[in-house]
Amino acid sequence: MTKSEAAIAATSPFFRESDLLTELKKRGFKDPEPMLSTLRSSLKRAREDFQRDSGRSHKILSP
């Protein structure tokens, strides 16, 4: 699993950390925790950006 594949999995509405952890272990990551930590922080940042941006676009589109 590449970082981009992991990022897609993390942003999926069906994302479960345990599933991703299992997948990373299957793919040969001996210590997947650093990857999971990176994904957690990236996902948190993406959610914050999305919430901020969606609020901004709503204001722009509102009459």
Regions of the chain where pLDDT drops below 70: 1-2, 6-15, 55-63
| 3-state DSSP assignment of residue 14 | coil
> What per-residue confidence (pLDDT) applies to 57?
57
> What per-residue confidence (pLDDT) applies to 61?
55
> What per-residue confidence (pLDDT) applies to 59?
55
Query: To which residue do tokens 């901020």 refer?
Result: 52
Q: Which of 4, 30, 19 is nearest to 39 (CA)?
A: 4
